[in-house]
Amino acid sequence: MDPPSQTKFSSVRRSLHELRQRIGNRGRAIPTDWFSDKFAGVQSSQNQGAPSEDIHTNRLCSRLSVDPSLPSHYRWLAVVSLAVLYNIIFVVGRAVFWEINRNAPVLWWTLDYLCDFIYLIDTLVHCHEGYLEQGLLVRDAAKLRTHYFSTKGWRLDILSMLPTDFAYIWWPPSSCNAKVPCPVIVRLNRLLRLPRMWEWFDRTETATGYPNAFRICKVVLAILVLIHWNACLYFAISYALGFGTDNWVYNLNGPKNSTLSRQYIYSFYWSTLTLTTIGETPTPENDAEYLFVVADFLAGVLIFATIVGNIGSMISNMNVARVEFQNRMDGVKQYMAFRKVGHELEARVIRWFAYTWAQSGALDEERVLAALPDKLKAEIAIRVHMDTLKQVRIFQDCEPGLLEALVLKLKLQVFSPGDYICRKGDVGKEMYIVKRGRLSVVADDGITVLATLGAGSVFGEVSVLEIAGNRTGNRRTANVRSLGMFNLI
């Protein structure tokens, strides 16, 4: 085939391919969820003509970068936090209680170097964590490394990974027998990775739906760790002063006192009584013991007073919504009793309060969302009211911008059984959408039921919209009454 014919054939084949793609795109099914489709994101493919070298470069940089906002990064921080917590508890404990090392040396060796491997991987992850620059996530590997070494975190990462275990060559762990400290104390530098655990705590506190409960758990963990460290310090001081030399130090004599469980439990018990300033422990008998007890009491007063105060404020914050709601309800009940409105009306008001609390906890949506921009408010409102708005036919042909402006005007209202939402002839300023419950359209006599409305029903739009030829103007044309407790927006 000659070159001109070959070129012509290639152009015809390319045209047929493009025509086939257009026909295929036209034949695609339209999403059935018309409401969600209005707000669906549209992905474009405008970078098809980019050079292949740039594509490969972007892919390589993406592989060498870590997005801190991804759930996988959050889960990795949880793994690192477990490794840090292991070192916080067991490195200090094994450095003092020698029986722990003698019981399962292979297990401790495995866990130690598994945590070291996690630290190594975390250093690589930390070095390639993306950061925001002018609102965009930086993924360039060179910039990420430069940013990492410009912070203080890299020093702690390097110090926490120093191979201090080489000291085992001259000081083997097997030599620890009734001696304090044990060789595992050379691994104390692993505690310098603690900021990564605090980072996971902060992210969990932000993401969880129960922040107050998580804060209490975090404080309880901090209390237990402090008591554990102080118990280890007490046992080490008892070794330095001599076990059983007086009543204050720990006494190793006896079959029960020589067991690991009794050693740790008694030390933990002594530490708890001292740091909580309860006392009732043996009286010190020399200057070193007095100094240690005084320091413990001061630390207990300062630390635990702060911790207990924080726990008290957390518990108060957990009940603040209920307290405010109860105060409002008590004020209304006192007002009704003072004005003698009648028991029937009082019962209706109390039922309304109870239903409101059961449905939403008396949450003030406007005050909660006041700090957000209108765009985020609209997206949240769309998610909240999407199921209801999907059932409203008059919104099918609306533009997304109109719907976004509309959802910002929606307000949830709760009505009691027998309440009239509107009466015939009233001036209409709102339209209503039934979110939950049922209501009836009744005649002027209040008995004859003309129609029943359920979830997704709309009424009141005739009085709001300026419709040409409408004789009633903005007056209500029907009586609408609730059948039970229900929600309107």
pLDDT for position 151: 86
Segment 362-412, tens digit of pLDDT:
566 677 777 788 778 777 877 777 767 766 777 767 777 777 777 777 777
Tell me the pLDDT tens digit for each residue of 29-53: 444 555 566 555 444 444 444 444 4
Lowest-pLDDT range of 67-81, 154-168, 433-447: 433-447
CA nearest to 231, candidates 188, 266, 278, 185: 266
Asked, as a colleague might, if the bond just before 282 is cis with ω within 30 of 0, I would say no
- Indicate the SS3 state at residue 136: strand
Query: Given a cut of 90, is residue 452 above it in pLDDT?
Result: no
CA atoms within 13 A on the CB side of 14: 6
The residue with greater pLDDT, 272 or 22, is 272
Q: Are 195 and 120 in contact (CB under 8 A)?
A: no
pLDDT exceeds 50 at position 475: yes
Residue 354: phi, psi to the nearest 5?
A: -65, -40
CA distances from 83 to 99, 409, 478 (A): 22, 50, 68
- pLDDT for the residue 33: 57
Tell me which DSSP letter residue 303 carries.
Answer: H
The answer regarding whether domain 372-488 maps to CATH 2.60.120.10 reads yes
Highest mean pLDDT among 143-147, 184-188, 251-255, 373-377: 184-188
Judged by phi (left if over 0) then psi (alpha if -120 to 50, else beta), residue 356 lies in alpha
Residue ranges per domain, the chain? 58-202, 372-488
pLDDT the model gives residue 136: 83
Higher pLDDT, 186 or 455: 186
Asked whether the beta carbons of 69 and 208 are under 8 A apart, the reply is no
pLDDT reading at 9 higher than 60: no
Structure token digits, residue 323: 């307290």
What integer pLDDT is reported at residue 267 of this predicted model? 93
Q: What is the pLDDT of residues 153-164, one digit of tens each?
A: 899 999 999 999
The span from the CA of 286 to the CA of 253, in Å, is 21
Q: What percent of the chain has pLDDT over 70?
A: 80
Q: Regarding predicted confidence, which is higher, 414 or 329? A: 329
At residue 65 the predicted structure's pLDDT band, cuts being 50, 70 and 90, is confident
Residue 36, pLDDT score: 60
Least confident of 242-251, 303-312, 364-373: 364-373
Report pLDDT digits (tens) over 268-284. Answer: 999 999 888 787 788 88
* pLDDT of residue 307 exceeding 50: yes
Which residues touch 341 (CB under 8 Å, ≥6 apart)? none
Average pLDDT over residues 276-298: 87
- 315 has pLDDT over 50: yes
Question: If you average pLDDT over residues 218-232, what whole number do you get?
Answer: 92
Task: Among 58-62, 162-166, 372-376, 429-433, name the most confident range.
Answer: 162-166
Percent of the chain with pLDDT over 90: 22
Q: Which amino acid is at 239?
A: Y
Average pLDDT over residues 280-297: 89
Whole-number pLDDT of residue 85: 96
| pLDDT band, residue 347 (cuts 50/70/90) | confident
Rounded to an integer, the average pLDDT of 98-118 is 90
Q: Does 19 score more than 50 pLDDT?
A: no
pLDDT of residue 200: 94
Cis ω for the linkage preceding 181 (within 30 of 0)? yes
- How far is Cα 1 from Cα 10, in angstroms, rounded to an integer? 12
pLDDT at 321 over 80: no
Residue 11 is predicted with a pLDDT of 55
Instruction: Report the distance separating Cα 277 and Cα 273, nearest Å.
Output: 6
Does residue 242 carry a pLDDT above 80? yes
180 three-class SS: coil
Three-state SS at 413:
strand
State residue 1's pLDDT score.
Answer: 52
- Residue 469 pLDDT grade (very low, low, confident, very high; cuts 50, 70, 90): low
Q: For strand 420-422 and strand 479-482, is the pairing parallel, antiparallel, or unpaired?
A: antiparallel
Residue 30 has what pLDDT?
A: 44
Contacts of 103 (CB under 8 A, 6+ apart): 260
Q: Average pLDDT of the chain? A: 79
Average pLDDT of span 197-226: 89
Q: What is the pLDDT of residue 43?
A: 41
Tokens of 107: 């297990």
Contact 130, 137 (CB under 8 A): yes
